[in-house]
Amino acid sequence: MDFRISDYLARIGQTPAAPSPGALRALQAAQLAAIPFENIDPFLGILPDLDDRAIWRKLVIRRRGGYCLELNALFGTALRALGYDAVPVLGRVRMGAPRGSMRAHLAHVVRFGATRYLADVGFGGPAPEAPLEIGAAFAQPDRLGRFRLRGDGETGETVLERDTPEGWFALYGFDGVEATEADRIAANFFCARFPASPFPNHLMLNRVTASGRSSLLDLKLTTPEGRRTIAGEADLARVLAGEFTLDGAELAPRLWARFLASDAA
pTM greater than the 0.85 cutoff: yes
Query: Are 181 and 211 found together in one domain?
Result: no
Looking at residue 264, its pLDDT comes to 75
pLDDT at 108: 98
Give dist(CA 245, CA 120) in Å, integer: 20
pLDDT at 263: 81
- Residue 112 falls within a domain, yes or no? yes
> Tell me, what's the pLDDT at 1?
56
The SS3 of residue 113 is coil
d(CA 70, CA 88): 12
Q: What is the pLDDT of residue 265?
A: 63
66 and 167 together in one domain: yes
Kindly state whether residues 35 and 83 are assigned to the same domain. yes
Please identify every residue annotated as catalytic. Answer: 68, 105, 120
Please say which residue of 155, 171, 193 terminates a domain: 193
At 62-83, the pLDDT tens digits run 999 999 999 999 999 999 999 9
- Run of H or E residues at 167: strand 167-178
Determine the pLDDT at residue 66: 98
Instruction: Please tell me the total count of domains within the chain.
Output: 2
Within-domain flag for 216:
yes
What range defines the domain where residue 23 resides? 5-193
SS3 state at 197: coil
Are 148 and 227 within one domain?
no
**Residue pLDDT, tens place only, 125-147:** 899 999 999 999 899 999 999 99
Q: What is the pLDDT of residues 206-242, one digit of tens each?
A: 999 999 999 999 999 999 999 999 999 999 999 999 9
Read off the pLDDT of residues 151-170 as tens digits, 9 standing for 90 and up: 999 999 999 999 999 999 99
